Amino acid sequence: MMPTASSSLSVVRLARRLLVAALAGACAAWAAGPSVAVADVSAFTSPGGASVTIVGTTATGEPANILNPLMNGDPVVTKLAGAEFQVKFSAPVTLRRVAIPRVGWDDWAVPDRVAITIDGKALGEFALSAPRVRPKAAPQGVDVIDFGREIRAARMTIEVLKTSVLKNMNKHGTFRLLVPKTLPKD
């Protein structure tokens, strides 16, 4: 059976649709948005020279310690879920990734889901799944949020949307935010 002009046209249209769909998938993968993965904390540190304000809860200890790479329990906030940690960098920084260690004893709340806003623009909500880090212990892996691109930031706000506790259902906890040791040069 000889192909007709209309069947050849149908094959060309089908091939064109498949090509467009394949290219759309490739472009979507190339321009991937923010993602979360568990990674080694050794490549991350304090941003240095930043100030921190805690909103939505009360805290004991120094708020700036959320930027300290030591995994201690300072500051402790009375209710971690709903707390906002507002970080103001001393000078704008270029970031692609941040690390959020889930620090806390078994009876402390640790963050499970956070929302990140940079300079007033929402980046999204992120589910955290790295193992809990006991205070003063060396973490094996931490949640690293990759923004999918470099972002210039003067201010960053992290809101803890959801927490979990292993025992006693306490609401208090602590928080950590770290940046890569090597930041892009501006």
pLDDT in tens, the chain (186 residues): 555 555 554 554 544 554 445 444 434 434 567 889 898 888 888 888 899 999 999 889 889 888 988 877 788 999 999 999 999 999 999 999 999 999 999 999 999 999 999 999 999 999 999 999 888 887 778 999 999 999 999 999 999 999 999 888 789 999 999 998 876 665
Phi, psi (rounded to 5 degrees) for 41: -80, -10
Angstrom distance (rounded) from CA 12 to CA 22: 15
Question: And the tokens for 98?
Answer: 């941040």
Burial group, residue 95, by CB count within 10 angstroms (0-12, 13-18, 19+): buried
| Per-domain boundaries in the chain | 1-31, 35-180
With beta carbons less than 8 A apart as the criterion, state whether 112 and 162 touch: yes
**In this structure, CATH architecture of domain 35-180:** Sandwich (2.60)
Q: 63: which DSSP letter?
A: G
Element (H, E) at 51: strand 51-55
Supply the pTM of this predicted model: 0.78
